[in-house]
Structure 1
Amino acid sequence: MRIAAFIYFSLIFGSLYAQKDSVNINELDEVLLFGNEQTINSINKELFSVNTISAQQINQVGANNLADILNQQLNISITPNAADGRSTVSMFGLSGDYVKILVDNVPLVSDNGYGNNIDLTQINLEDIARIEIAEGAMGVLYGDNAVAGVINIITKKSSASKWNIRASVQEETVGEEYNFEDEGRHIQNLNIAHNISDHWYASANFSRNDFNGFKNNYFGRDYFGMSGNSVANDGRRGYEWNPKLQHTLNGMLKFAKNDFNFFYKFNYYNETLDIYNHAINTRIQDGEYDITANDEQFVSNRFRHEAQAFGNLNQVHYNLSLSYQTQVRDYETYVYDLRRQQKRSTTSKMTNQESDLWFSKGTFENLLSKSANFNLTAGYEITYQQGYDAVASGAYSDNIAEQDLGNYDVFSQLSFTKNNWSIYPGVRYNHNSNYDGKLIWSTSANYKPAKDLKLQAVVGSAYKTPTFTNLYYYFVDANHDVRGNPDLKPEDGISYLISAEKTSVLNNEFRLQNNLKFFHFDIQDKIDLAVVGDNSQMEYLNISEYKILGVSTENNFSYKNFQTNIGLSYTGISQSLETELSNPDDYLFSLNATAALRYYWPKAETRFSLLLKYNGELQQYFRDNDTNEFVKGTQEDYSLMDASINKYFFKKRFEVTLGARNLFNVVRVNNSAITATSGHEAPSTSLLFGYGRSYFLKLLYNLNI
């Protein structure tokens, strides 16, 4: 990486003298060939508090998947899992079950259901126009389980040129581990877009992401320990973060004429996850050691078909979408021969998870077009999921069963605008196939006392139906007994979000934007795992009241080519369990902070970026298993910092990005909030949060014809 850095800076300074023509400070926006690209599939910023991450910001930090870019956002935290490589999101202290993730306003299916608790590492960002993060009660327009907010990923749907071809390679260390063969992270991407005619547009994108795992204190797949002349089963084989290979293929065809727009999108995702057992098996056979290990492999395949039509009909804006998604996960166990470094025997592959999802949504806006002050939006949403998870629902029993779950909703949103006031009351009737109908409501209100000041309030239902996992999970073997509960009732409650935004502009060079938010969530009948019976059986139950109270502020400052963003969030969580013992329900607060510094050097066509996030100390009450009393556990604070340099060459045809992630080298975080002991203190342990400081180099070639 030192050689790469030397070459990179040499190119920077060399280009200062080689280039004669200057370049505009800001990158040109895409030419909008088909309607207003900035509003297609976008979240209404008048209704909700929305933050936007642009394609330029994504590219500038070398982000390849959604986890790479969300890790530095205020009020958002990412929870990684080293065993299966999953990374899930939480917002305002609420887990991924309460955050809906959409692609072009369509929920994404995964091995955990759809829309919620999605593995962020499975969402590729190479063909993304922008990411919108909306906060607050969004159940009326986006359905149940959109309690904390919505993350909407908008894909590219236009190109400025007849042909656009983008090819990139990215090499990244994993901690200090890297080589071209079996260490580090190796990413390749190819994107082709073509304006076929004035009305037709097509694009295709292929990406390969080869993550070779993180050994840390382990020694890889082929290791076995020796103690003298004997084989030592020292538990050092394998990886701390298991290897994972991902392939993504996207295709889109779009037609637009007059007030009618239509596009069809296809997505294929393939993932292979290898899990290498830390323990080995040894025996002496024919005078020599026979050394094997029992390993596992998971292969996931996901197909996604989506069609959308949108436009204007008699002054009514309509958007109709239909999507079919299917995901299949195959599982294989096999015996690996460590001496010969090959598979010896294997079980036949079995499909242990399968999910099919049908989704349709229609939205009709401007239904009261003749009214000066009133407007009406109405729509419907239908979701039907069918499938099973054999690992969770019967791999260790004879009870494998296919289940289905459906939501059939209609909704409406009324807007009233008068002078500086705007009020948006809305309702949705949710009919879940497992439950009676439920009326979800929300109200947004905006007041603009001055051109540069906006006050906003969002109040609404915190309604959440049990997920597929909550209802049907079943994991029972010699060491586990964890079960879903088909008798669960939905969670309900109320959420509040109040914000004030002030924008100051001076001489078209200085810009200051301040945003202050207050938020409160009160969730009743929250679903949690609890121990039931006498055999440590765990089951999902409606057992707690969950409250969140907090304040956050974000401050954006820009002057000429310099931009900075500083954010602070102070959040408290209170949880009261319905148990036979009284338990503490006071708020436990945590401080989080973010800072982003960006500078553009126009003469060298170079952008510099520095991102910092502080995750404050977390506290939580747990029950002491010996004394049956509640004690407090603590997870220590930690900070993350990323830095990057992005440079154009040859009139923006060639782009180089050099950067570093996790500069503070965070791997594990001390945590005593796991279980409690009879000493009234939880034992100190550590949670795996990263794989240390890593460096990346991305080379991108962009050809416009």
Structure 2
Amino acid sequence: MNAYLQRHKILLFFPGILAFYQAYSQAEVDTASAKVNELHEVIVTDQYKRGSVSGKLFTVSEITRKDIDQLAGNNLADILHYQLNIDIVPDARSGRSTVRMFGLDGEYVKILVDNIPLVSDNGYGNNIDITQINLDEVERIEVVEGAMGVLYGDNAVAGVINIVTKKGIEGKWEVTAALQEETVGGEYDWSDKGRHVQSLRIGHNIADGLYVSAGFNRNDFQGFFNDFRGKDYFKTQGNSVSNDGLRGYEWNPKEQLNLTGGLYYTAPRFNVYYKFGYYDETLDIYNHAVNARVEDNTYKITANDTQYRTSRFLHQFYADGKWNSMNYTLALSFQKQERDNEDYVYNVGEQRKQEVTQDITDQSSDLLFSRGMLSRIFPGSEFFDLTVGYELVNQKGYDVSASGHSTNIVENRLENYDVFAAADLNITDRFALYPGLRLNNNSSYNTHWIWGLTAGYKLSDDIDVKGVFGSAYKTPTFPQLFYYFVDANHDVQGNPDLKPEDGLSALVSIEKRSDLEKVRLRHALKGFHFNIKDKISLILVGDDAPGGSFRYMNIDRHRVLGASFENTLYYKNLRAGLGLSYIGIAQELGAEDDSKNDYLFNFTANASVSYTIPSIQTIFTTQFKYNGKQPQYVEQTNDTGETIFVKGEQDAFTWWDASIRKSFLNKTLELTAGARNLLDVVSVNTTAVAGTAHGAPPGTVLLGYGRSFYLKLLYNFKL
């Protein structure tokens, strides 16, 4: 069957189900009692609640709006530091931060906004820069662990982070304005140092069921100097200029602007909304080296600097409701992201931009996305129900820098045409199975089946056991397929012939809830295993270039084995949490016979305490996370030129935050004061880097920008 017929058969699948159900419901005699139908609705509608991940199918932990406010979180990176089994991977030069879950990097974690994947530099949903996700419009954040390929497609291997936005207010008007000032390490002033955040959000109920909102946010990060001296620094020594490498910043300055708008309509059996978003980011990269020459007996001191400007547009339409007794959802989204690159000569002595040497749009991504689902297809059955749906993805883009700055820009396209189904089998009152299957039809690969199975068992009224099993299916990214950077010193290429990764994911959890006289306890024990085959890695394939020729290849195998234990206590106005995690990673680094593939384990612990004093409307919060030593095998070359594998290690480090939040005038005004990174972590030592047979010298990994203090004032007006 050719691709044209395949695509159109898939497009016809969803309307065909609608037609089938209409004929079925007209022919069926409604013999079920109202009582039975009402009970069934309570069970199933929560499974696909609007904008949420199914808590029935998966283990979902929630970060509430209250949690976000207590930490004065402005973007997603501010919030996720303290989550168990999650690490934030920052890049000081580019300003990007990505998520790593269960030791799997951001390519294996899908980021959703209201269940719709967010566009990234050259793809969608994965490897997202989480510093670009503003939290002003967010109602809650759902963190879901385990493979979710049936409902969310390829690359949802380690888990999903779903950001659920606000869709209504109480009353007629709501106006929220906030100012936040924050030091960056010990650096701060009103204009040239620190972090400065301003936001405004307006919501209005135009009529019953009709709501409109608009928002603005500016996050001005002025960079972190640390031991560097800024963009206008140079050093003279005698009659010459000393190029000491101290110009610029440790973390480069970045300014972000967010504009949002939405129109929402809610009726008893029908909900629909349209959302608009615009994001603009300016990142300045200042070269540490300066150039000096003598001209007319004076020094002309310049530097070659770069400015990146990223813009993203988002249009999103969503509808859900009931048709007879069936639930339906429909989501449409168009997103476009571009990055402009301006290279210029900066005159350091005269403190001005002297000459623009290049000004291009070096990266562009377009994403057209649609998903539709039908649930409660068999409302008369207490034993069996079915959810079916489709997902369409059309993404295209190019990356000039990844193509060696070639003038012949090649735009590439990837398309997905998927259908999926998930069954609901209530075997007994205590035991249920939820098998699912997705047919993934990708324009670059053969058709692939993605499977999943959730098993839920209620051991007692307060103990639940859940197992989530599924395919660990991941397709290659745009750079892995199309990257091309070849010059006199480099040879790094993508591989259009790459095949997707696949394997097995398993997560089993046991949750116990205890309600005592004044104390509520929750305990959750989880065990997990990921076995990923044909893992894609950058492999040395030749030595034609001075540094060797590298190409993305399907070679490595990656395994993860671990367990975590989470505990939460509620006592009057106190909430406390304690979590422990032990994760081992085994990776075959290549095809060599002596490659190391045993498990290397890392220990992590987190804790949180929140205490509320209602009489003075004040909340005290502190969070703590210990990240143990991270071992890793690395390739080294011995004296005879042979490749050997040596175990390196990144040192342990600890994050610690604390805050006080006080309300005034019946919560019209709120003041939050706090500190991030109280233990002043900036970098840690590591030996997990390539070296010679005599050992790799300890390097450093930048993790943060030191102990920072913030003050946030929020005004919230409701009518």
When normalised by structure 1's length, the TM-score is 0.93
Amino acid at match of 2:646: V
Residue 348 of structure 1 and its aligned partner are, at CA, apart by 4.6
Match of 1:609 in 2: 621
- State the distance in 2 between where 1:141 and 1:455 align: 21
5 Å-filtered alignment, 1:539-618, equals: 539-618=551-630
Distance in 1 between residues matched to 2:158 and 2:422, nearest whole Å? 19
Aligned residue number for residue 367 of structure 1: 377
Residues 113, 469 of structure 1: 8 Å contact kept = no
Of 683, 692, 701, the match for 1:677 = 692
| 1:171 corresponds to 2:181 | yes
Map 1:306-345 → 2, pairs under 5 A: 306-345=316-355
Task: Find the aligned partners of 1:537 and 1:608 in 2 and give their Cα distance.
Answer: 55
Counterpart CA distance in 2 for 1:47 and 1:328 is: 36
1:110, CA displacement in angstroms? 1.5
Judge conservation of contact 2:344–2:358 (CA < 8 Å) in 1.
no
Q: 1 CA distance for matches of 2:467 and 2:448? A: 23
1:485 equivalent to 2:495? Answer: yes
Extract structure 1 runs of 4+ deviating beyond 4 A.
35-38
**Equivalent in 401, 411, 431 of residue 391 of structure 1:** 401
* Match runs of 1:122-141 below 5 Å: 122-141=132-151
Hey, what's the Cα distance between the residues in 2 that align with 1:323 and 1:587? 41
- Which of 488, 512, 515 pairs up with 2:524? 515
Of 395, 409, 415, the residue aligned with 1:406 is: 415
Which deviations, in whole Å up to 9, do the C-alpha atoms of 1:659-696 show, x marking residues without a partner?
000011000110100113212x3321111111000011
Q: Deviations over 1:438-457 (max 9, x none)?
A: 01001001111211110000
Change (3 A) 1:546 1:654: same
Tell me, in whole angstroms, the C-alpha distance in 1 between the residues paired with 2:615 and 2:490. Answer: 62
Q: Which residue of 2 aligns with 1:12?
A: none
For residues 558 and 541 of structure 1, the distance between their equivalents in structure 2, rounded to whole angstroms, comes to: 50
Does residue 1:221 correspond to 2:227, yes or no?
no
Distance 1:244 1:90, change over 3 A: same
Match of 1:105 among 106, 112, 115: 115
Structure 1 alignment gaps of length 5 or more: 1-34
Deviation at 1:582, TM superposition (A): 2.0
Displacement of 1:399: 4.7
Query: What is the DSSP-based 3-state SS (H/G/I as helix, E as strand, rest coil) of the residue aligned with 1:690?
Result: coil
Verify the 8 A CA contact 2:272 2:320 in the aligned structure 1.
yes
Counterpart of 2:305 in structure 1 is 295
Instruction: Answer yes or no: is the 8 Å Cα contact 2:291–2:303 preserved in 1.
Output: yes
Secondary structure of residue in 1 paired with 2:689: coil
How far does residue 36 in structure 1 lie from its aligned partner after superposition? 9.2
Write the distance in 2 (CA, Å) between the matches of 1:600 and 1:585: 49
| Aligned twin of 1:654 | 669
Q: Residue in 1 aligned with 2:542?
A: 533
d(CA) in 2 for partners of 1:449, 1:159:
39
Tell me by how many angstroms 1:578 deviates: 3.8
Q: 1:410 Cα deviation (Å)?
A: 0.2
Contact 2:184–2:708 (Cα < 8 Å) also in 1:
yes
CA distance in 1, matches of 2:536, 2:339: 27
Does 2:203 match 1:193?
Answer: yes
Provide the residue aligned with 1:630 in structure 2. 645
Give the equivalent residue in structure 1 for 2:716: 702
Tell me the TM-score normalized by structure 2: 0.92
In 1, distance between residues paired with 2:624 and 2:435? 38
CA contact (8 A) 2:258 2:277 kept: yes
Q: How much has 1:398 moved relative to structure 2?
A: 4.9
Q: Once the two structures are superposed, what CA deviation does each residue of 1:514-561 show, in whole Å capped at 9, x if it has no partner? A: 000000000000011111111311111111111100010100011000
8 Å contact kept, 1:632–1:682: no
* TM superposition shift of 1:483: 1.4
- Alignment partners' CA distance in 1, 2:490 and 2:216: 40
Q: Does residue 349 in structure 1 map to residue 325 in structure 2?
A: no
Figure out how many residues of one structure are paired with residues of the other and give that number: 668
Checking the alignment, whether the CA contact within 8 Å between 1:568 and 1:592 is kept in structure 2 is yes
Q: CA–CA distance in 2 between the matches of 1:373 and 1:420?
A: 12
Matched, 1:68 2:82: no
Mapped pair 1:259 → 2:272: no
Distance 1:271 1:174 in 2: 19
Residues 460-488 of structure 1: per-residue CA shift (max 9 Å, x gap): 11011111121111223344322111000
* Cα shift at 1:360: 0.2
Letter in 2 for 1:656: L
Q: Which one-letter code corresponds to 1:79 in the other structure?
A: V
- Between the two proteins, what is the percent identity of the paired residues? 54
Closer/same/farther in 2, CA of residues 261 and 36 from structure 1, 3 Å limit: farther
For 1:614 and 1:479, how far apart are their aligned partners in 2? 41
- 1:555-598 residue CA offsets vs partner (Å, 9 max, x unmatched): 00110001111000000011123423321111000100100011
Partner of 1:639: 654
Moved more, 120-129 or 37-46: 37-46
The C-alpha deviation readout for 1:482-505, integer Å capped at 9, x for no partner, is 211100001010011000000001
Supply the AA of the counterpart residue of 1:382.
L
Counterpart check, 1:234 vs 2:244: yes
2:110–2:156 Cα contact (<8 Å) kept: yes
Partner of residue 95 from structure 2, selected from 85, 98, 103: 85
3-state secondary structure, aligned to 1:237: coil
| Whole-angstrom CA distance in 2 between matches of 1:213 and 1:83 | 10
Letter in 2 for 1:416: L
Distance across 2 between alignment mates of 1:61 and 1:478? 49
For the structure 1 residues 338 and 577, does the alpha-carbon distance in structure 2 shift closer, same or farther, using more than 3 Å as the test?
closer
User: Is the contact between residue 486 and residue 492 of structure 2 (CA under 8 Å) also seen in structure 1?
Assistant: yes
Amino acid aligned to 2:531:
D
For residue 524 of structure 1, what is the aligned residue in structure 2? 533
Q: Tell me the secondary structure at the aligned position of residue 161 of structure 1.
A: coil
Query: For the Cα contact (< 8 Å) 1:415–1:423, is it kept in 2?
Result: yes
**2: distance between equivalents of 1:105 and 1:39?**
10
Q: Distance in 1 between matches of 2:418 and 2:47?
A: 28
In structure 2, what residue type is equivalent to 1:497?
L
The Cα shift of 1:256 comes to: 1.7
**Alignment partners' CA distance in 1, 2:383 and 2:106:** 38
Deviation of the 1:340 alpha carbon: 1.5
Equivalent-residue separation in structure 2 for 1:411 and 1:234 (angstroms): 59
The residue type equivalent to 2:628 in the other structure is G
Which residue, out of 154, 157, 163, partners 1:153?
163
Change (3 A) 1:437 1:38: closer
Secondary structure in 2 aligned to 1:347? strand
Q: Which residue of 2 aligns with 1:686?
A: 700
| Letter of the structure 2 residue corresponding to residue 555 of structure 1 | N
1:96 equivalent among 101, 106, 109 = 106
CA distance in 2, matches of 1:577, 1:622: 8
C-alpha distance after superposition, 1:316-364 (max 9, x if no partner): 1111000001111111111111122111111352110011100000011
| Equivalent in 276, 279, 282 of residue 292 of structure 2 | 282
CA contact (8 A) 2:47 2:57 kept: no
SS of equivalent residue, structure 2 residue 207:
coil
Contact 1:564 1:596 in 2 (8 A): yes
Distance 1:660 1:38 in 2: 38
Letter in 2 for 1:53: I
Is the Cα contact below 8 Å between 1:631 and 1:682 reproduced in 2?
Answer: no
Give the RMSD, CA atoms, in angstroms: 1.3
Deviation, structure 1 residue 37: 13
| Residue of structure 2 aligned with 1:449, choices 452, 459, 467 | 459
Question: Aligned partners of 1:483, 1:573: CA distance in 2, in Å?
Answer: 27
The DSSP-based 3-state class of the residue aligned with 2:191 is coil
